[in-house]
Copies of this chain bind each other. A is one copy, B any other.
Amino acid sequence: MIKIILFDDNRNICDSIGLLFSTIDDMILVASYHNVEDVVDKVRKANPDVILMDIDMSGITGIEAVRRLRSKNISIPVIMLTGFEDADKVFASICAGANGYILKSANMNELVGHIKDVHNGGAPMTPIIARKVLDRFVKLQAAPHPEEDFNLSKREDQVLQLLVKGKSYKMIAEELNISYETVHSHVRRIYQKLQVNSVSEAVSKTLSLRFWGTTS
């Protein structure tokens, strides 16, 4: 038997969800609230297996509620009910520690499946939401080479990549089969182009760019 608690300030939603669970054998709605005042206490008292949470309530939002639960080390899975697919709110929920993201408009049969999913450690979400998450994920991962951004030559880029790996001038010289002084030359020009004056700055700038697409 999966115990469920619901937070949603829309009475209609609450009613229809209540109705739903009355027809499901292995799930039970143990409590439902129209706001998230004292959410931590309420959840502790009800001790549910899954929490359904409206993403956007008047007063304290569902996002903030999740944050509060997680900050108290309450790791009960939370499914966010999104009124429409608001990407920013979903991302905020993800960072707050919510588990699943579904549309209120989703039909109720799906909701039952989603509850089983989070109960099994999954993160159910609609494909459109997933697409948005992936788009942002890819943006974060995309690793632009500084070559393009700073007009580094091929060789300069090679040297920079080795500096990033923590190699010394001497090691780079060996690896590229050029003299120490040539490495020195390349590094000088790299520093000029990157507007830095130490390896650490160069590495930092390179990796920051690679990771976040910006150096600021």
- A interface residue numbers (CB < 8 A to B): 91, 94-95, 97, 99-100, 114, 117-118, 120-128, 130-131, 133-134, 136-138, 140-142, 163-168, 196, 198-205, 207-208, 210-211
Per assembly, the copies of the chain total 2
Contact B164 A131 (CB under 8 A): no
Residue of B nearest to A128 (CB): B122
Q: How far is the CA of A47 from the CA of B127 in the complex (A)?
A: 24
Residues from chain B with Cβ under 8 Å of A199 in the complex: 198-200, 203
Q: Give every chain B residue within 8 A of A123 (Cβ-Cβ).
A: 127-128, 130-131, 133-134
**Interface SS majority for chain A:** helix
Which residue, of A97, A114, A134, has the highest number of chain B Cβ atoms within 10 A? A134
A-B contact pairs, 14 of them (CB 8 A): A91-B141, A94-B138, A95-B138, A95-B142, A99-B131, A114-B127, A117-B127, A120-B127, A123-B131, A136-B137, A165-B204, A166-B202, A168-B198, A203-B207
Indicate if the CB atoms of B142 and A127 lie closer than 8 Å: no
Q: How far is the CA of A86 from the CA of B13 in the complex (A)?
A: 37
Complex CA–CA separation, A71 to B100 (angstroms): 33
Which residues of B have CB within 8 Å of A136? Answer: 137
Query: With the chains together, A117 CA to B122 CA distance in Å?
Result: 19
Contact B94 A196 (CB under 8 A): no
- Rounded to whole angstroms, the CA-CA distance of A94 and B135 in the bound complex is 9
Given A200-B203, A207-B211, A127 and B130 touching (CB < 8 A)? no
